[in-house]
Structure 1
């Protein structure tokens, strides 16, 4: 398949993902975003293959406009604090889906390359979704047949793939093309209260990420028990975690998150990652999490 045909296929896939996302958000079909995506689909369907250079340029211009519109939607959505569903959906066993990226694949360059984002989202995250769905379906079969002979295996698969899916979903939204800098408001005050200063927090988080043994994550969490923030490491997805805490900011330090670009220089990847942190998203998660109050012990 030629590079041009690959590009067209990627565009079709992206357009379809954006439509699925708008459906999941219950965005009205009369919304301008829906009309633009539908119109673009009609244009693509009318085009003949193979495409000439002029047609490719026309597609590229429309895609850039649509990506800008979608990024504006995500920014407005984030500013309203609407990263938490206003509905109460129920996901049946084995029905999880890969969430779309809230920005274009190349939007985080030069800090994270387009190639990495495509592989990381389309391949690695999808594998966690598939693994989670399979584990849930197998456990559903076990309940139906009252046969739990493989409960240890499928419970491990459930934990591994489920943690991978949920943490990656947080990870994508924890980043933004307009990210970087430092937080503000109540999140900054809470960071300064517990860690002493933002610089001390940043240093500890970076060192935690750089010194994860093997593969895993560095995670800023909120603890409803102790009523303060904390920085944790997680090996793989679920080892060394504290189960009663709520992830706020997650950094993936598995090799697939950086090796194609940074090779064995994980520390460089960690240092550059701060340039894309979406502090608004982190603050929204903190504000919601801090509403939980368990009895301390």
Structure 2
């Protein structure tokens, strides 16, 4: 199975001013494209060649894992963004209140973990098999699928995600992220 680039659900300039067209050209158009291309090269002629990204992530290691996970992680991240932010559906408000105290408490904890994650990586809202939500931080290409968790929301805190627009101000990028989150999509992902 040849893996391909996902189609963005918005135009390249649509996320401005929070995320510029230039950032998307590099982050989506170059970084993600490189992961997809590398993955296809690495899996050719291997047992991973006909697997889904999820199966590769659960079974591979090394370069194959890194490129598969980065392809999946970036796709999930870009698909969660929207130029026209939606209100948080009641179902999601209720679940965040149940597991974090309130949506505001969730956002505060998520922001804190994203701000303090050392180096490159990802911050995930995940759901376990019992339906409980939690926030996980994963370095490098880490993905909660490897731990049996269901991804619900993710923020990319690799420097390439924000350096064009925010330079070294990760906290400003995280704040901008909350203006781009498609809460309806997030709500659809919870059980």
> TM-score w.r.t. structure 2 length?
0.88
Residue 195 of structure 1 is matched in structure 2 by 100
SS in 2 for 1:139: coil
Query: What does residue 76 of structure 2 align with?
Result: 170
What is aligned with 1:76? none
Tell me how far 1:258 sits from its aligned partner: 0.4
Structure 2 unaligned runs (5+)? 50-59
Alpha carbons 2:73, 2:143 under 8 Å: kept: no
How far the C-alpha of 1:141 sits from its partner, in A, is 9.4
**Corresponding pairs, count:** 181
Matched, 1:210 2:124: no
RMSD (Å) for aligned C-alpha atoms? 2.0
Question: Which structure has the larger Rg?
Answer: 1
Counterpart selection for 1:234 from 138, 148, 159: 138
> Going by fraction, where is helix more abundant, 1 or 2?
1
Tell me, in whole angstroms, the C-alpha distance in 1 between the residues paired with 2:153 and 2:85: 13
Given the alignment of the two structures, is residue 274 of structure 1 paired with residue 181 of structure 2, yes or no?
Answer: no
- 1:109 paired residue number: 16
1:262 CA drift (Å): 0.5
**What are the superposed Cα offsets for residues 43-99 of structure 1, whole Å, 9 maximum, x if unpaired?**
xxxxxxxxxxxxxxxxxxxxxxxxxxxxxxxxxxxxxxxxxxxxxxxxx2xx00001
Aligned pairs for 1:36-115 (under 5 A) are 92=1, 95-115=2-22
Q: Which has the higher contact order (CA 8 A, sep 6+)?
A: 2
Cα distance in 2 for residues equivalent to 1:284 and 1:240: 18
Closer, same or farther: CA 219–190 of 1 in aligned 2, 3 Å: same
Give how far 1:139 is off: 2.4
Q: Is the 8 A contact 1:159 1:238 kept in 2?
A: no
For residue 155 of structure 1, report the CA deviation from its aligned partner: 3.1
Question: For the residues of structure 2 that align with 1:257 and 1:240, how far apart are their CA atoms?
Answer: 20
1:18 corresponds to: none
Q: Would the alpha carbon gap of residues 239 and 168 (structure 1) be closer, same or farther in structure 2, given more than 3 Å must change?
A: closer
Contact 1:217-1:251 at 8 Å conserved across structures = yes
Q: Is the 8 A contact 2:122 2:142 kept in 1?
A: no
Residue in 1 that maps onto 2:57 = none
In the aligned structure 2, how far is the partner of 1:214 from the partner of 1:112?
21
Moved >4 Å (runs of 4+):
239-242
